Amino acid sequence: MGTHSCVKLCGNMGAFQFNFQKKWQGCDTIQFTTWQMGAGAIGMFTYSISFEHGQSPWSLAVVYLLYSGVLASALAFVIWSHILSKMEASKASISLLIVSVVGTLSGFLFLKEDLTTITLLGITLALLGVWLVNRTGSTCTTFTKLTGK
């Protein structure tokens, strides 16, 4: 599959997603997520049958699909939609920095990766940034308190 084909496929999927969101705009978040994940699973299944060859341990593949499709992706999408309904998108999006913190700590706990001083500093700065953005009070008020201007 060439670069041109990949770009064309991505453009088509983006157009499909845009139309899909417009059509299902008024429906429940869980219902929307179910349809979206189903459409994505069909697309991925079609792609894998078309381009992947060889033996596959199907029992393990089904477990991976259920985890990534149901538990991780769908649950994350529902939680993200709920968060966006409760707070500003600018404040909610900065909270995505927590993903890297969770990933790093998961690597430490489950994969026995090292936590170096620079890694711990990065985790601290990410959490501090999320806290600073999401604490109560407006940005202008906070800036005024800090600078005295």
pLDDT, tens only, 99-142: 889 889 988 998 889 999 999 999 999 999 888 887 866 555 44
Would you say residue 72 lies in a domain?
no
Would you say residue 140 lies in a domain?
yes
Instruction: Report pLDDT for 117.
Output: 95
Q: pTM for the whole thing?
A: 0.46
Would you say residue 79 lies in a domain?
no
Instruction: Report pLDDT for 17.
Output: 66
Q: Domain limits at 134?
A: 88-149
Would you say residue 1 lies in a domain?
no
Instruction: Report pLDDT for 116.
Output: 94
Instruction: Report pLDDT for 10.
Output: 66
Residue 79 has a CB neighbour count (10 Å cut-off) of 11
Would you say residue 81 lies in a domain?
no
Query: Residue range 50-66: average pLDDT?
Result: 71
User: For residue 69, is pLDDT > 70?
Assistant: no
If one counts the domains in the chain, the total is 1
φ, ψ dihedrals at 2, nearest 5°: -80, 170
Would you say residue 102 lies in a domain?
yes
Query: Residue range 74-78: average pLDDT?
Result: 76
Would you say residue 24 lies in a domain?
no
Q: Which string of DSSP letters, residue by residue, matches 79-95?
A: HHHHHHHHS-HHHHHHT
